[in-house]
Amino acid sequence: MKIKRILSVLLCGALLAASALAVTGCSDSGKKDAEKDGYTVGICQLVQHPALDAATEGFKKALTEKLGDKVTFDEQNASGDSATCTTIVNQFVSSNVDLIMANATPALQAAVSATADIPVLATSITEYGVALGIDNFDGKTGINVSGTSDLAPLDKQAAMFAELLPDAKTVGIVYCSNEANSKYQVNVVKSELEKAGVTVTEYSFADSNDIAQVVTKACEEVDALYIPTDNQCANNAELIDGIAAAAKKPIIAGEEGICKGCGIATLSISYSTIGYNTGLMAYEILVNGKDPADMEIQYDDAPVYKYVASRCETLGITVPDSYEAIAD
């Protein structure tokens, strides 16, 4: 009986060991099966202009460097239409892409409305709390969203008026009223300018059809203009330039692309850099399983003072040596 018991115990032990090995084997096999041979990333860009284009290219560059031909991009442009952003991201959700990259606020808002499951990374967003309606935003969204911001130090941009345009006593801020992030910038810059004793007037437009009329009115009433990182203004910079140049009114811009199109100077972040950093974040999500809800929004911490030499020369504006010239 004793021998039988011993054999029984040994047999049970062997069965348990075999069972444990089988479970381990299944687990390893499951891991291998879960590893993906390729990833599909949907890119929804609001509109085509140099800043957003640079962000998208930076994003693709980073992921391609990391994943090579294992990543496929479905890149779509909404041509400035928020409703088209919704159509695009809904297609991405139906296709079950591995990740959505939303370039600009309307693209992000459309993606958030379309899915709570697919990871969403955004770029070219000024303030995520404003864009997503999050009160007391602390740097993490808490949902399936993270990304990078194009916010430059607005107080320093406001201070550029005193440095470059000390005689400008009245400033007009031109922006699209449908862009929440533009309004956020307007409020901050207006407050800073008013602290410095400058009279500020807001000139908003609802769509591109009103830009010419609004900019013309602003040029008739103020000494200088400020344009934030506003997608509609960026897409119509040439139109704005024609009106402001004829009126000899200088424009300080929120970012390099708008500045090149119609401004004299800017303190600008690099859209290529924030796009690239978004791509690195995407790699961490796709390959290393990071949760966007726990990922801090990232910023370009090295903005650069830049100017357009030809416009400054035409208007007789002296620029400090610390400013970097934007190539015409």
- Taking only the tens place, the pLDDT of each residue in 91-111 is 999 999 999 999 999 999 999
Report the pLDDT averaged over residues 205-231.
Answer: 96
Q: What is the pLDDT of residue 28?
A: 37
Residue 108 in tokens: 């992000």
Report the pLDDT averaged over residues 203-224.
Answer: 96
Residue 191 in tokens: 């407050």
The answer for residues whose C-beta is within 8 angstroms of residue 117's C-beta and 6 or more apart is 144
Domains of the chain (ranges; CATH) run: 39-151+271-296 (3.40.50.2300), 154-268+304-325 (3.40.50.2300)
Alpha-carbon span 307 to 278, nearest angstrom: 27
First-to-last C-alpha distance (Å) of the chain: 97
**With 70 as the cut, is the pLDDT of residue 19 above it?**
no
**What's the whole-number average pLDDT of the chain?**
90
pTM of the predicted model as reported, rounded to 2 decimal places: 0.82
Q: What is the pLDDT of residue 15?
A: 40
The number of beta carbons lying within 10 Å of the beta carbon of residue 75 is 15
Q: What is the pLDDT of residue 112?
A: 98
Q: What is the pLDDT of residue 327?
A: 82
For the segment 33-85, what is each residue's pLDDT rounded down to a tens digit?
345 789 999 999 999 989 999 999 999 999 999 999 999 999 999 999 999 99
Q: What is the pLDDT of residue 207?
A: 87
Q: Are 289 and 103 in contact (CB under 8 A)?
A: no
- Backbone φ and ψ of 230, nearest 5°: -115, 125
Q: How far is CA 282 from CA 59, 63, 183, in A?
A: 9, 7, 29
For the segment 37-48, what is each residue's pLDDT rounded down to a tens digit?
899 999 999 999
Q: What is the pLDDT of residue 37?
A: 86
Q: What is the pLDDT of residue 36?
A: 77
Alpha-carbon span 75 to 60, nearest angstrom: 10
Report the pLDDT averaged over residues 270-285.
Answer: 98
Alpha-carbon span 1 to 57, nearest angstrom: 77
Residue 39 in tokens: 């990833």
Q: What is the pLDDT of residue 275?
A: 98
- Of 260, 267, 308, 321, nearest to 156 by C-alpha is 267
**With 90 as the cut, is the pLDDT of residue 313 above it?**
yes
**With 90 as the cut, is the pLDDT of residue 137 above it?**
yes
